Structure 1
Amino acid sequence: MSNAKEVRPFGIRDKVGYMFGDLANDFSFIFASTYVMVFYTKIMGISTAMVGTMFLIARCIDAFTDIGMGRIVDSSKPTKNGRIRPWILRMCGFVALASFLMYQSFLVNAPYGAKVAYMFVTYILWGSIFYTSINIPYGSMASVISSEPKDRSSLSVFRSVGGTFAGILIGVMAPSLVYYTDEAGNQVVSAGRISLVAGAFSVIAVICYLLCYFMTTERVEYVPKTTEKKSVGATLKSLLTNRALLGMIVSAVLLLLASLMGQGINVYLFADYFKNTSALSIFSLLMLPCVILMAMFSTKLATRFGKKECGVAGMAASAVLYLIMGILHIQNVWAFVVGAFFAMLGMYFFQTQCWALVTDVIDDVEVQTGSRDDGTIYGIYSFSRKIGQAIAGGLSGWALGWIGYDSLAAGQTQEVANGIYNLSTFFPAVIYLLCALALQFIYPLSKKRVDSNVAELQKRANAQKNA
């Protein structure tokens, strides 16, 4: 009992520390999502088809490494610094180094096969091995930093804030650092600069990982499994038939589809429908005030009414507002920007809280099975999100083809422009509605059930101590 008294109470230090963890992740992940294909194609001269093939192979490998790392985390034994948290310290240097190595151009004049081999090795080493080895423990950590639903909601919000800040910093800083203007006025990617930027971001990522490690504390005590250890196959079969996990995955993948599809289509919306690309920058910055507003209110709302309940209301509200915008067929770009701001608020509520659903699912599985599988559950969730990202990555291109978009034309016909507008409004309206329905009818963890699970696990933990 004396050890328990020494544990620092949960507070702002944990929230900010956890936020730094997502900042660290995204200094390599968002930068890679934005620039790794640019580097491979424009600097290394590798075909887009080969890069796409590599991405597909990497996602297949992720199916094993994400869940495998989850099992490793679940098998980790407690140390004086925690059970899951030490993985941040162990792996932060490796993921940063692997990220830096992806952007080295010393093989630019080498045979094509050598360049492709280097691309495959460094990208898979970074994304499928080292990034996975730190992201799975990081995501699993939220369930052991605190057992309180309110605290977990706060961690989810701060994680979302961290990701948003990283996205804005990279979006604002990287283009001016990576590109230069040649004598003809063209924007050209600099091999040396992109390598330096990758190195700087890797160093910043390590600093943020260390801040995450030293500012957070594990408080949920590890209870050894009393049931017989299951095989990987039996564990996966049990988890993949769990309604709460399936509901969370369906709703999260739907959210990703709508969000990433929107990001891809909005570039064409402002260029070809509104013919005002300068407004796109302001529109892109809207996510910051949206996330800030949700950071201020979402935890209080989730604590009072429940994460599921507020998520359903938020996604339904966003669906209705996007539907209205689609029907109105707004012509004025600034009216659209204002409408989109309010339409995104409900969506951003769920986005800031979706990470907290993972911890609720982990608790629910433990109550039902007696087995706590933090890492495995987060590994399955992480892999499902990657599949959603892969689908969404191609969806915007396919959708533009369906409406007749001509990439070689200087301008699009009015019919195509209207099709782009419809994609940017009716598509999110439908997907957000489906997300609300998935939360309502598939995901079973209401506020009452979440609170009941927390009480049951606390009761079991107390009984274990007194045994």
Structure 2
Amino acid sequence: MVTLVMLPVLLRLVDRVDKNVIYYTGIPLSILAMIVIAFYPSGTIVWPVYVLAGIFAIGLAAAQVMIWVMFPDVVDDGEIAQGARNAGSFSGVMVLVRTMASALATFAVGWVLEFTGYQHARHGEARLAQPESALWGIRLTMLITVVVLMGLAWFLARGYTLNRARVLQLSVDLERARAARHTVAPEHAAHHGSHEPGEHEAGEHEPDQPHI
């Protein structure tokens, strides 16, 4: 829901601000909100947690949306560097990394819950009261995951070089490279399809002249 609300705002900002700046600006906000949520005391009023969750979602939405906005620029830069548009390869790597991250996160959460004594309710049973160790396991899992992964994303985004000026220049370079490829290809084919001067005549015999 927050992502849908933020989408028009983010797309409007793209025309004025570098994409990586939009990406990493919201990350500290999300990290700060998660720190407060992780240490929020139990048994107190609940509505501040929802406010903090909304703040966390704002920073997360910016990061999630900008990944896909930045992706075409990376593909364009790869086409300039590699001489071919390997969008499928880039997309495959991106999906693989996201899938592996989700799998590792699911495994880590399950392991932490098991280690901290989380009580599984059986079918038909009421919700069980969780021990304090399990509650802190959930809190610290959320906190450490967000701080480490989003902190790493913030650090990497700071070194992202495809700013607005670079992307504009990249579009010009890409048009030139594509035009050059389309120009060279027909000339190359025409060169191989033609014969060298005298090549055809050298393989033929002149007709015998009649003797007088």
Is this a same-fold pair by TM over 0.5? Answer: yes
- Counterpart-to-counterpart distance in 2, 1:413 and 1:466: 71
- Are 1:344 and 2:57 counterparts? yes
- 2:32 corresponding residue in structure 1: 320
- 2:73 corresponding residue in structure 1: 360
1:428-467 equivalence runs, <5 A? 428-441=146-159, 443-463=160-180
Summarize the Cα distance change of 1:335–1:365 in structure 2 as closer, same or farther, 3 Å threshold. same
- 2:204 corresponding residue in structure 1: none
Alpha-carbon deviation of 1:362? 1.0
Alpha-carbon deviation of 1:466? 6.7
- Counterpart-to-counterpart distance in 2, 1:455 and 1:365: 14
1:327-406 equivalence runs, <5 A? 327-329=39-41, 331-406=44-119
One-letter identity of the residue aligned with 1:447: R
- Counterpart-to-counterpart distance in 1, 2:100 and 2:93: 11
- Are 1:416 and 2:163 counterparts? no
| SS of the residue 2:28 aligns to | helix
Summarize the Cα distance change of 1:311–1:398 in structure 2 as closer, same or farther, 3 Å threshold. same
Report the RMSD for the aligned CA atoms in angstroms.
2.5
One-letter identity of the residue aligned with 2:148: V
Query: TM-score normalized by structure 2?
Result: 0.72
- Counterpart-to-counterpart distance in 2, 1:435 and 1:298: 18
Alpha-carbon deviation of 1:445? 2.6
Give CA-to-partner distance per residue, 1:261-311, whole Å, 9 cap, x none: xxxxxxxxxxxxxxxxxxxxxxxxxxx1x1122211111212311221110
Q: Which has the larger radius of gyration?
A: 2
CA contact (8 A) 2:27 2:154 kept: yes
Alpha-carbon deviation of 1:435? 1.6
Query: TM-score normalized by structure 1?
Result: 0.35
One-letter identity of the residue aligned with 2:30: S
- 1:300 corresponding residue in structure 2: 12
- Counterpart-to-counterpart distance in 1, 2:179 and 2:163: 25
One-letter identity of the residue aligned with 2:161: P
| SS of the residue 1:304 aligns to | coil
Structure 2 unpaired stretches of 5+? 122-126, 185-212
- Counterpart-to-counterpart distance in 1, 2:162 and 2:41: 38
CA contact (8 A) 1:404 1:416 kept: yes
CA contact (8 A) 1:323 1:426 kept: no
- Counterpart-to-counterpart distance in 2, 1:371 and 1:295: 31
One-letter identity of the residue aligned with 1:314: G
- Counterpart-to-counterpart distance in 2, 1:358 and 1:382: 12
One-letter identity of the residue aligned with 1:419: G
Summarize the Cα distance change of 1:423–1:393 in structure 2 as closer, same or farther, 3 Å threshold. closer
| SS of the residue 2:26 aligns to | helix
Give CA-to-partner distance per residue, 1:160-191, whole Å, 9 cap, x none: xxxxxxxxxxxxxxxxxxxxxxxxxxxxxxxx
Alpha-carbon deviation of 1:465? 6.1
Summarize the Cα distance change of 1:444–1:401 in structure 2 as closer, same or farther, 3 Å threshold. farther
Aligned length: 178
Summarize the Cα distance change of 1:323–1:455 in structure 2 as closer, same or farther, 3 Å threshold. farther
One-letter identity of the residue aligned with 1:315: I
Summarize the Cα distance change of 1:343–1:327 in structure 2 as closer, same or farther, 3 Å threshold. same
CA contact (8 A) 1:319 1:430 kept: no
- Counterpart-to-counterpart distance in 1, 2:138 and 2:105: 16
- Counterpart-to-counterpart distance in 2, 1:450 and 1:399: 43
- Counterpart-to-counterpart distance in 1, 2:137 and 2:98: 28
Query: Once the two structures are aligned, what percentage of the paired residues are identical?
Result: 23
| SS of the residue 1:305 aligns to | coil
- Counterpart-to-counterpart distance in 2, 1:417 and 1:357: 38
CA contact (8 A) 2:109 2:141 kept: no
CA contact (8 A) 2:29 2:56 kept: yes
CA contact (8 A) 2:78 2:85 kept: yes
CA contact (8 A) 1:363 1:453 kept: yes
One-letter identity of the residue aligned with 1:435: A
Summarize the Cα distance change of 1:400–1:318 in structure 2 as closer, same or farther, 3 Å threshold. same
